[in-house]
Amino acid sequence: MHNTIKEENQVSPSFLFFLVHSTQIGVGILGFQRLIIKGAGYEAWISIILAAISVCILLAMVFNILIRENSDIVDIHRLYFGKYLGGAFTLAASAYYFIFALTIYRTYVEILQIWMFPQLETWIVSLVYLPIIYYTVSGGFRVITGIAFFGVMLPLPLVFALLYPLKYGHLNNLFPLFDHTIWEFLISTKMMTFENLGFESVLFFYPFIKNGATSQKWGQLGILFSAFLYLCTALVSFAYFSQGQLMHTIWPTLTMAKIIEIPFLQRFEYILISLWLLVVLPTIAVSVWCTIRGFSKTFNKPPTIFLIFVLIALLGFSIFFDDRETIDQLNTRLSMTGFYFIYGYIPFLFLYSLIRAKIKQKKAQKEEREPTLS
């Protein structure tokens, strides 16, 4: 296959760092702590490292497939499985990215409702952000990449401000070390699935990266930087909260932000939540873009039609998931689906690609050895 994307529509390899990192942070960093302690307790920070290592391996598998075929997942599905079965796989992947976008979108709207605008109806808060998503996605992949860049750089100082709660923390909470079983560490590692999702979107936008074969290192650095932020946030949270408190705190990161004192600002968490739109916007935009690209290439229709349909669906489903229980179920379903996608389908596709390449190689060698008829 050949990359048919024009160079003016591509971005430099280094921007893969921002694309991968921005899709992994989202809303997960605001409340992941209470989930990962269900397995290894305060030692769950070790599971963050284990999860990051596994995701780095998975990204290497993804690049192995993409470099071999030099195309996106839509064309690879068609090449590997044929027009109809391959199209079905692409539509399934597109539906997955829609659920991804919906989960991040609805969870952020919930945070706004709970922490800032408790009296506003869901549809009002949801409707306000749809034009922003439309403008970002309709601008093309380069615009999305620019938003991802600013979504990483601008809020970064706010993330490091969360080290402030260490002033009131108890570091002895982190000890003793290695006091849990391997199975408990694996449970916590699995609980990190939601937070690590997003890197797999490179399956769709790989052709939009200049010299994509050389960009893997930037993607790996993006994963490691995400893991570093999760690790720092987890360690601060474990030191600040007792395990009982953490189990019953839905948004530990925002709860810690409430104690940050600035002379001219009384509610620091309001600034954090407001600027966090820049963090979640790239995640939503990339997921929506992957969704409409999958549908557009499968049905050979203009992407604008699918963009409008997806945005209407986001609004409709965000109204449908109208309480904490259903939103929590949505997050759980995405985590479970994402787990099977990244730890099941990606290794399967990798092995299928390797076997297919070996068969083609042996067939070519056999044809070379056969004497030509004169």
Q: What is the pLDDT of residues 118-135, one digit of tens each?
A: 888 888 888 888 999 999
pLDDT digits (tens, 9 = 90+) for 41-67: 889 999 999 999 999 999 999 999 999
Q: What is the mean pLDDT of residues 356-360?
A: 88
Flag whether pLDDT at 371 surpasses 50.
yes
**Does residue 108 fall inside a structural domain?**
yes
Residues 6+ apart with CB under 8 A from 255: 249
Q: Is 360 within the bounds of a domain?
A: no
Q: Is the predicted pLDDT of residue 109 greater than 60, yes or no?
A: yes
Task: State the Cα angle at 101 between 118 and 146, rounded to 5°.
Answer: 100
| Residue 162, pLDDT above cutoff 80 | no
Phi, psi of 363, rounded to the nearest 5 degrees: -65, -40
Residues in the chain: 374
The C-alpha atoms of residue 21 and residue 24 are separated, in whole angstroms, by: 5
- 212-227: pLDDT as tens digits: 889 999 999 999 999 9
Domain count, the chain: 1
Residue 298, domain member (yes or no): yes
Distance CA 215, CA 208 (A): 11
Indicate whether 374 belongs to any domain. no
Residue span of the structural domain in which 322 resides: 13-352
DSSP bridge partners of 11: 209
As a whole-number percent, the residues of the chain with pLDDT over 90 amount to 58
Q: What's the pTM value of the predicted model, to 2 decimals?
A: 0.92
Would you say residue 7 lies in a domain? Answer: no
Q: Which CATH number does the domain housing residue 250 bear? A: 1.20.1740.10
Tell me, yes or no, whether 3 lies in a domain.
no
- Cα angle: 283, vertex 197, 137; to 5 degrees: 20
The answer to whether position 291 is within a domain reads: yes
Higher pLDDT, 165 or 2: 165
User: Each residue of 313-325: b (16+ CB within 10 Å) or e?
Assistant: ebbebbeebeeee
Q: 366: which 2 tokens?
A: 């056999």
pLDDT at 306 over 80: yes
pLDDT digits (tens, 9 = 90+) for 185-217: 999 999 999 999 999 999 999 999 998 889 999
Question: Residue 11 carries which DSSP code?
Answer: B
Whether the per-residue pLDDT at 176 is higher than 80: the answer is: no
Instruction: Give a yes or no: residue 213 inside a domain.
Output: yes
For residue 3, the model assigns a pLDDT of 67
